[in-house]
Chains A and B, each alone.
Chain A
């Protein structure tokens, strides 16, 4: 009974490859939307999060204002469920009637939601990375006359990046899954929507299994890569513990 409902090969095949007679989008095609969204969102997240992290780590009193604003943003973006942001953006932005903001595509709104949410998480990962570079490295960089910017560029950030690669991949895995939430607001047939339609047409839940497998096909390899990098980083740090 369980297998018939959730893992029915017949319905799984139809879900994955589509069924022209029922005019159903193949799920592999729908999944391309999710993949595209996360592939475009991730670099943006990595880019946007860096200045947030650096500004929040900066000690200069001149930056107290921006620091406060960014701290509030990070708290907000990490504290509010993504689904809430998604619904607010998709059903709120278009009726605001603001020239640039109100006339964007579903894809652009989706990017905004993901970057808004994940840049906050990733900025915290960066911050932890920068802080885990020992202060002795900062001293060594200053000792050879580097400016504070050069110190970040050549000493702190390269070392912090090594430390954060694995946690960043974990966040990427999570972002990849959350593209499904975008589908709830976007009104386009991405993977989750496609699975729902399928389920509605055939009264069979196997399409959800297909959706799960497709997400897993990206998540699992990435997670393995993250684990491997983490183990490698740990070994390197143990080997280099003298310096």
Chain B
């Protein structure tokens, strides 16, 4: 049996009195793409941020390649060198060029040389058709380009797991496709991913497992052909109807 990339057991998270995650258990296996769906406020973002310790969990266990991350002795920065995350609002560093955005992590956190980090960054930019933007500053890029750079910034760290937090929600509908295509390409290379998305059709396409969250609990979990096509739970069905009927956007 292979060791799961990520395993959450009974994860809980509260902010004061507010319970955001209420006993979430899920597993990401090697080469798997797990999609979290659910309404805003259902706990998707918090769940992702707990996985790389950007938020400390309140209870439960998180294990990464079989290593338990729960102990306080585990330093978040070490975990985050292995687990990349991309945010909804890109969060590129506005004071650094595209190239410097991408090389900062490998150089500062991983101790790579400037030449090695830049060579690798340029290779990634080339691969995703952004090479000519290497020396531009983020504010010169479109939203779609910025988000692709943010994904490359995470990839430059050679992550063993990638977390994507609604990465197309802040984009113009016209720019969504270029970002989703990149994610599809990553999925095809076998990069394990855990992602939160509102793009149901994209999730159907790319996910090996769909997890439907509501109020911090997993309502339903399974392959897309089951959860998205034949939801067992009425709450999942209601959510999907609202998204698929009301919102014509598709990945």
Q: Interface residues, chain A, CB within 8 Å of chain B? A: 136-137, 139-147, 150, 154-155, 158-159, 162, 236, 239-240, 242-243
B153 at the interface (CB under 8 A from A): yes
Other than A142-B54, A243-B94, give 10 A-B pairs with Cβ distance below 8 A. A137-B93, A143-B87, A143-B154, A144-B105, A145-B78, A145-B110, A159-B94, A240-B138, A242-B139, A243-B92
B104 engages A144 (CB within 8 Å): yes
Contacts of B81 in A (CB 8 A): 145
Q: Count A-B contacts at CB 8 Å.
A: 77
What's the nearest-Cβ distance from chain B to residue A93, in Å? 43
CB distance B54 to A140 under 8 Å?
no
Q: Report whether A143 and B84 are in contact in the complex, using a CB–CB cutoff of 8 Å.
A: yes
B93, B110, B154, most chain A CB atoms within 10 A: B93
Within 8 A of A (CB), among B90-104: 90-95, 104
26 A–B contacts from the bound complex (CB under 8 Å)? A137-B91, A139-B87, A140-B91, A140-B93, A142-B54, A142-B77, A143-B52, A143-B84, A143-B85, A143-B87, A144-B84, A144-B105, A144-B154, A145-B78, A146-B77, A146-B104, A146-B105, A147-B77, A147-B109, A150-B108, A155-B93, A159-B95, A240-B137, A243-B91, A243-B138, A243-B146
Which of A140, A150, A239, A240 makes the CB contact (< 8 A) with B109?
A: A150
Given A142-B54, A144-B153, A146-B77, does the pair A242, B91 have CB atoms closer than 8 Å?
Answer: no
Compute how far the CA of A219 lies from the CA of B115 in the bound complex, rounded to whole angstroms.
45
Bound form: Cα–Cα A243–B105 in Å: 19
**Is B89 among interface residues, defined by CB-CB distance under 8 A?**
yes
Chain B neighbourhood of A240, CB < 8 A: 94, 137-139
B109 touches A144 (CB 8 A): yes
Instruction: Compute how far the CA of A137 lies from the CA of B95 in the bound complex, rounded to whole angstroms.
Output: 11
A243 near B90 with CB under 8 A, answer yes
Residues of B within 8 A of A (CB): 52, 54, 76-78, 80-81, 84-85, 87, 89-95, 104-105, 108-110, 137-139, 143, 146, 153-154, 157
Contacts of B84 in A (CB 8 A): 143-144
For B80, give its contact among A142, A162, A236 (CB under 8 Å).
Answer: A142
- Shortest CB-to-CB span from B85 to chain A, Å, is 5
Determine the distance from Cα of A162 to Cα of B93 in the docked complex, in whole angstroms: 13
Q: How far is the CA of A60 from the CA of B237 in the complex (A)?
A: 46
Question: What residue of chain A has the Cβ atom nearest to residue B80's Cβ?
Answer: A145
Instruction: Determine how close the nearest CB of chain B comes to the CB of A237; give it in whole angstroms.
Output: 9
Docked pose: A162 CA to B95 CA in angstroms: 9
Q: Which residue of A lies closest to B105 (CB)?
A: A144
CB contacts (< 8 Å) of B105 on chain A: these are 144-146
| A162 to B91 alpha-carbon distance, docked (Å) | 18
Residue of chain A at shortest CB distance from B81 = A145
In the bound complex, how far is the Cα of B77 from the Cα of A144, in angstroms?
8
A142, B91: Cα distance in complex, Å: 11
Option from A145, A147, A150 in Cβ contact (under 8 Å) with B157: A145
Residues on B with C-beta less than 8 A from A139 are: 54, 87, 91
Q: Smallest CB–CB gap between B238 and chain A, Å? A: 32
CA distance A143 to B53 in the complex (A): 10
**B54 x A143 contact (CB < 8 A):** yes
Min CB distance A130 to B, Å, is 14
* Chain A min CB distance to B98 (Å): 12
Contacts known (A145-B81, A145-B109); A239 close to B139, Cβ less than 8 A? yes
Q: Specify which chain B residues have a CB less than 8 angstroms from the CB of A144 in the assembled complex.
A: 80, 84, 104-105, 108-109, 153-154, 157
Q: Which B residues touch A154, using CB under 8 A?
A: 104, 108
Bound-complex Cα distance A136 to B137 (A): 18
Q: Could you tell me the distance between the alpha carbons of A141 and B154 in the complex, rounded to whole angstroms?
A: 11
Which A residues touch B95, using CB under 8 A?
A: 158-159, 162
A162 to chain B: which residues have CB within 8 Å? Answer: 95
Within the complex, the shortest CB–CB distance from B225 to chain A, in Å, comes to: 33
**Interfacial chain A residues near B109, Cβ < 8 Å:** 144-147, 150
Minimal Cβ-Cβ distance residue in B for A239: B139
B123 to chain A, nearest CB (A): 18
Partner of B108, one of A146, A159, A239, A243: A146
Residues of chain A contacted by B108 (CB below 8 angstroms): 144, 146, 150, 154
Contact B146 A143 (CB under 8 A): no
